[in-house]
């Protein structure tokens, strides 16, 4: 079976998605993207920053119960940016695999 080649942009996007999704394991993300788990681990070591951000739910559990409007807006903006990034990565992956298919 021929090995798949991925663009560097796809690799970096996959790593960014992993780093910005602390609740997601490498196994789950690799399965979702259709990439081998070990391949994704190599990409994380090569392109990763080593920092994983906290999600809004984790941030809320670490702060006092009274969250100001400004803090809530910042949390929602971060979550919105993460979701947009996930969407863009999935679009690129779908486009990549659609180009690979020859009927």
Within 8 A by CB and 6+ apart from 7, the residues are 96
Domain total in the chain: 1
User: In this structure, is residue 1 part of a structural domain?
Assistant: no
Please name which of 90, 88, 14, 3 lies closest in space to residue 47, comparing C-alpha atoms. 14
Q: What is the pLDDT of residues 8-32, one digit of tens each?
A: 888 988 888 888 887 888 998 898 8
Please name which of 41, 33, 36 lies closest in space to residue 97, comparing C-alpha atoms. 33
pLDDT at 60 over 80: no
User: In this structure, is residue 54 part of a structural domain?
Assistant: yes
User: In this structure, is residue 94 part of a structural domain?
Assistant: yes
Residue entry with tokens 């695999």? 97
User: In this structure, is residue 3 part of a structural domain?
Assistant: no
pTM above threshold 0.85? no
What CATH number is associated with residue 36? 1.10.10
**pLDDT confidence of 56, banded at 50, 70, 90?**
very low
- Of 82 and 100, the structure prediction assigns the larger pLDDT to 82
Range of the domain at 32: 8-100
Please name which of 18, 6, 92, 3 lies closest in space to residue 53, comparing C-alpha atoms. 18
């Amino acid at each position: 079976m021929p090995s798949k080649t991925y663009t560097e942009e796809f690799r970096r996007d996959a790593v960014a998605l992993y780093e910005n999704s602390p609740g997601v394991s490498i196994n789950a993300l690799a399965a979702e993207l259709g990439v081998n788990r070990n391949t994704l681990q190599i990409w994380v070591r090569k392109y990763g920053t080593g920092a994983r951000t906290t999600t809004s739910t984790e941030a809320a559990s670490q702060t006092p119960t009274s969250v100001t409007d400004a803090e809530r807006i910042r949390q929602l903006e971060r979550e919105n940016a993460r979701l947009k990034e996930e969407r863009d990565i999935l679009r690129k992956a779908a486009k990549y695999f659609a180009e690979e298919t020859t009927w």
